[in-house]
Amino acid sequence: MPIRVCFVCLGNICRSPTADGVMVRLVADSGLADQVDVDSAGTSAFHVGEPADHRSAAVARGRGYALTSRSRPFVSADWNRFEYVLAMDRSNLRNLRRLPGAHGFTGTLALFRDFDPESPAESDTPDPYYGGADGFDEVLDICERGCRGLLEQIRSEHGL
Ligand code: 4NP
């Protein structure tokens, strides 16, 4: 059984699809594609069915990442499907903790940026949706660092 990882933001069109695309490539480049599955979801259903925001997709494409997600809400059945659930900011972490099934979750529910050694503890991945182009680049920088740290932790916890 592969280890399953889900990134969660609000709309599932900017931050979590970016982390998803970065993690998919990092896992593949590490030869672990059969052992680690990656997905993303939102705590809202505002954008259900939509692909990643075109600004996120363009910035990611510029660094060689394909963002292939379709927005979907995180649902209580997801607690049984994933071993690592990573919230892109504290607000979404709070929302996840309030969802039915959260209390029985036995995997790792954590703030994504806590895997980035360069970020102070409890940092949010800033929501780029209403801002300028720089915000999308910053999200990608954060995702590259955080995904490296997350994969290291997964490897050490699972002896990979
Ligand atoms: P995301 O960004 O949570 O990173 O996907 C957002 C996308 C859409 C909205 C907010 C944040 N929105 O309010 O529609």
Q: What is the pLDDT of residues 92-128, one digit of tens each?
A: 999 999 999 999 999 999 999 999 999 999 999 999 9
Model pLDDT, residue 85: 98
| Ligand 1 in reach of 14 Cβ (< 6 A) | yes
- In testing the pocket of ligand 1, which one of 6, 7, 8, 14 has its CB within 8 Å of the most ligand atoms? 14
Model pLDDT, residue 97: 98
Model pLDDT, residue 107: 98
User: Which helix (DSSP H) or strand (DSSP E) does residue 16 occupy?
Assistant: helix 15-29
**What structural domains and CATH numbers belong to the chain?**
3-158 (3.40.50.2300)
Cα 44 to middle of ligand 1, angstroms: 9
Return phi, psi of residue 108, to 5°: -100, 115
What is the Cα gyration radius of the chain? 14
Model pLDDT, residue 115: 97
CB 158 within 8 A of CB 3: yes
pTM of the model as a whole: 0.98
Model pLDDT, residue 145: 98
- In testing the pocket of ligand 1, which one of 6, 8, 13 has its CB within 8 Å of the most ligand atoms? 13
Where do the DSSP E strands lie in the chain? 3-9, 36-42, 84-87, 108-111
Return phi, psi of residue 63, to 5°: -110, 15
CB 10 within 8 A of CB 93: no
User: Which helix (DSSP H) or strand (DSSP E) does residue 136 occupy?
Assistant: helix 133-158
Regions in the chain scoring below 50 on pLDDT: none
